[in-house]
Chains A and B, each alone.
Chain A
Amino acid sequence: MSKYSTKEKLTKKMEASIEQYLIEEGIIEPCENLLDDNLSAEQIANLDPEIFQAIKVSDDEAERTGYSNYSYWGSTIRMFFKNKIAVANLVLMLILVLFTFIQPYLPNQFDPNRVNYYNSKAVWFTVEDNGAYTMEGIKYTKGDLALEPEKGETLAYIKTPDSWGIPQATVCDENGENLESVKLTKDEANPDWYYCIINQEKPYLQIESESNDVSTFHNAMWVTVVGEKYAVYASGIKHTSSDIISDIPAGYGLIYVQAPESWGVPQLRAQSGHLAGADAEFLEVKPAKGDEGWYYAFMPIEKNALSVLSEDGSLRGMNRATITSILPQKVEAQTGFVENKRPNEVFWFGTNDIGQDLWSRMWTGTRTSLFIGIIVAAIEAVIGIVAGLLWGYLRRLDFLFTELYNLINNIPSTIILVLASYVMRPSIKTIIIAMSITGWIGLARFIRNLVLIIRDRDFNLASRCLGTPTRRIITKNLLPQMVSVIMLRMALAIPGAIGSEVFLSYIGLGLPIGIPSLGNLVNKGRTMMMAPTLRYQLFIPAIILSVITICFYLVGNAFSDAADPKNHN
């Protein structure tokens, strides 16, 4: 006996159990080669006739065990989990999809369509180690304001780094006189923040560290030239990192200046008043030690406007910087909406140009786009399968469907999409209808071809001969062959629909701006792309859009490979 032959092994096993039965029943004596067909006639006659009876057959039992233990969905899932990249993508995709639903219930979320205004009663100072700071009207503290400022007062919240110790605040009036120190109170609800009330009579605030060695006020101005149009900005916020020059001649103020590299050493022309005056004078510009690209100059205090020119005088700043007498930061509540704020701890993805929170718009938009994608995919699948089955089974409908297919397939699908959305009013419904018009017929054709091919294949014929019920033929013989195609089409329809939505938004046939979607956000971001500081409005939706579409594409492909019975082993 060959030791590899399964058939022989099984025979051996079966014979062994019969031998055991015969011996236990005492029909025959145990001996060598018991079943070698050498029983004598008497021995046979002594055998219990029952062992030759047919065993009772249960149809259900046969149904369950008579076929192989191959399970279609089990194999599909097993094949899918072998593909590590697809599994990783599936997890990422599920997390993203789940998150879009969880997001509105997280704490501190904004309404996606709410226009956010600056706080009208308070400002928030965030001070860095070297004394640079930002003053914003965005509410960084949690809970209500610590106290209500009265008319003519502004509440100032201050956050300093740990190295500063307990900060001290000093205010002065518009001439830089009448210095008065202000008591800072620690905010109980927000341990990092101190607050104080600033009266508008003395609104100029400077903050110092506990040991008085660092301050937010430096007795100097920083002038920068930025952008393609060379806008000139002046600010009292420290931009350089090295120590500030201390030996300023009397009657002069210290000016730091930075211009684009192509300008060379910038020239500064100071004058009083913004009209070109006779008293304009060029200042002596020296490079600042320790800060590359920065230069400094001393400006007479009576001058208050500054033009910046390139080294050879051919380029000049768009506007003149206003250098008033150098004063600390004026504290006043900011007005208007929180437009184009870069991502910060309150607006996690920043705000757009009308002060809407991009974080919540982003996730609402993802939800809208996914919703559109999934509905379109579902419609395509349902209509496609039903039409495909009819097309395949009913001969009479073949001509009709074939002509319809030729008609739709001949026209570029973009054109149909554009036409359908142009004729209807823009809404989610319109977009879904426009996208569903073309997609289903492709799937229907696939199904029809598969039905025609598989219906009369040998294995189906065999199944029918063996009396397998139609239900079983459909679920076990036909469906597994189609699942792969159906799933692939559905999974690819989702990124396709998201892409079409972006396209429709771009040509102005998309959703109204009140319904955020990935297409709206990307196209809105595109209009901001010329300003480098606003590109986050393009990057964030573009990245999330790409991640979602790639995930769906890869998972769809992997699943359709796994669902193909040809790949099961």
Chain B
Amino acid sequence: MLKYSLKRLARSLLTLLILITVIFILLRFMPEEGYFNNYEKMSPTQIAVGLQKMGLKDPLYVQVSRFIVNLFKGDLGVSYRYRVNSPIASIISPKISISVKVGLISMAVSLPLGFLLGIIMARYKGKIWDAIGNAYIVFIQAVPNAVYFIFIQLYGSTWLNISMLYKETDWKTLILPVVSLALPSISSYGMWLRRYMVDESNKDYIKLALAKGVPTRRIWSHHVFRNAVVPMVNLIPGSLLMTISGAIYTESYYSIPGMGGLLVDVIKRQDNNMVIVLVVLFASVGIVGLLLGDILMAIVDPRISFSKKEGSR
């Protein structure tokens, strides 16, 4: 177990390093104006001096290694256009807490509801509840969420008679962003749990239990659900960590000053340095989420042994 975790960790670190290098090199090919606030008014000499100062004239490998070393020291560099010359870490840290808050609330809503949906659909497979749940899942999966988020914002705010935009003082303005975030999560939790439970309920040992006379209720709660929940555990750390990266649509629709909205802002203003940092941050969150998910799954389900299946995922 420990050996597996260490191996997995080393691999994730390697992925992260490759990723940082690739992103860094790619973004260094971007136009130079992404490093200055008033590029149009500057003379070529000024630009050259500016680039020299920032160390952008150094060979690429020097830049990459400096970036990585600084990153491990906790220095994320400074923003050039979004907020001139202020350290990125100080821009990001208040935003992370807001994103995490909204994300956690929506997870707290969507986890139980999603599980409930999955259980009901699996339990009454082929009945009307299953059909309704399926229609909901198909709608959420097929229609781009940009579209239905707009309508939630538009009609939700008139219907509940609340402001369209987020206000820190008014908790009611959090309802719509949380609903928007929860809808797709509920559908995906519900869909996967239903699938795992239906698979589980078709297994032979369930038939045996049924033949033996175990009450249906007990079969569903003690065997089907318990076994079906194990693979679901894999998703949870990822979802938890992904709250850091925020939700791009929800946050920018409702003007929540979080991380997701920040990415859109920096891209629109072409602040190269911040794009690099944010992309690296989001990607590492994804990597760590998967890592934790795999480890947690191995802890929860003793039948899973990764050492044998090494390389199969």
List residues of chain A with CB under 8 Å of any chain B CB. 402, 406-407, 409-412, 414-415, 418-419, 422-423, 495, 498-499, 502-503, 506-509, 522-523, 526, 529, 535, 538, 542, 545-546, 549-550, 552-554, 557
Contact = CB atoms under 8 A, between A and B. Distances in A.
B299 interface: no
A526 B143 contact: no
A380 B313 CA distance: 21
A506 B263 CA distance: 12
B203 to A, nearest CB: 17
A82 B164 CA distance: 46
Contacts of B26: 419, 423
Contacts of A502: 144, 146-147
Interface in B3-34: 11-12, 15, 18-19, 23, 26-27, 29-30
Contacts of B146: 499, 502-503, 506, 522-523
B147 A419 contact: no
Contacts of A498: 144
A407 B18 CA distance: 8
B212 interface: no
12 contacts: A407-B18, A410-B287, A411-B283, A415-B279, A498-B144, A499-B144, A502-B144, A506-B146, A523-B146, A546-B142, A550-B138, A557-B138
B153 to A, nearest CB: 8
A411 B19 contact: yes
Contact of B264 (A415, A507, A522): A507
Contact of A406 (B15, B145, B279): B15
B248 interface: yes
Contacts of B183: none
A423 B150 contact: no
Contacts of B138: 550, 553-554, 557
Contacts of A522: 146-147, 150
B290 interface: yes
Contacts of A415: 279, 282-283, 286
Contacts of A499: 143-146
Contacts of A410: 12, 15, 19, 283, 286-287, 290
Contacts of A552: 142
B267 interface: yes
A371 to B, nearest CB: 17
B62 to A, nearest CB: 21
Nearest to A407: B15
Given A402-B311, A410-B15, A423-B29, A507 B283 contact: no
Interface of B: 11-12, 15, 18-19, 23, 26-27, 29-30, 138-139, 141-147, 150-151, 154, 242, 245, 248-249, 252, 263-264, 267-268, 275, 279, 282-283, 286-287, 290, 311, 313
A542 B248 contact: no
B138 to A, nearest CB: 6
A356 B29 CA distance: 37
A550 B263 CA distance: 29
Contacts of A422: 27, 30, 267, 275
A211 to B, nearest CB: 46
Contacts of B144: 495, 498-499, 502-503, 545, 549
B263 A418 contact: yes
Contact of A423 (B27, B263, B283): B27
A550 B142 contact: yes
Most buried by B among A415, A423, A526: A415
Nearest to B290: A410
Contact of A550 (B139, B150, B268, B313): B139
Contact of A418 (B12, B147, B267, B290): B267
Closest 8 CB pairs of A and B: A499-B144, A553-B142, A411-B283, A549-B142, A410-B287, A412-B286, A550-B142, A507-B264
A546 B151 CA distance: 12
A88 to B, nearest CB: 14
Contacts of A542: 147, 150-151
A534 to B, nearest CB: 12
Contact of B150 (A402, A419, A529): A529
B279 A423 contact: no
B198 to A, nearest CB: 14
Given A402-B311, A503-B146, 14 more contacts: A409-B290, A410-B12, A411-B19, A422-B275, A499-B145, A506-B264, A526-B150, A529-B154, A542-B150, A542-B151, A545-B147, A546-B143, A550-B143, A553-B138
Contacts of A412: 242, 245, 282-283, 286
A549 B290 contact: no
Nearest to B291: A410
B248 A553 contact: no
Contacts of A529: 150, 154
Query: Which residue, of A411, A418, A526, A535, has the highest number of chain B Cβ atoms within 10 A?
Result: A411
A33 to B, nearest CB: 49
A336 B84 CA distance: 42
B267 A507 contact: yes
B271 to A, nearest CB: 11
A495 B290 contact: no
A523 B12 CA distance: 37
A188 B259 CA distance: 65
A535 B154 CA distance: 10
A228 to B, nearest CB: 11
Nearest to A500: B144
A462 to B, nearest CB: 26
B146 to A, nearest CB: 5
A325 B286 CA distance: 70
Contacts of A507: 248, 263-264, 267-268
B292 to A, nearest CB: 12
B181 to A, nearest CB: 15
A290 to B, nearest CB: 30
A509 B311 contact: no
Nearest to B143: A546
A436 B108 CA distance: 34
Nearest to B288: A410
Nearest to B18: A407
Contacts of B282: 412, 415
A127 B264 CA distance: 49
A414 B260 CA distance: 12
Residue from B30, B143, B279, B282 with most neighbouring chain A CB atoms (10 Å): B143
Nearest to B158: A532
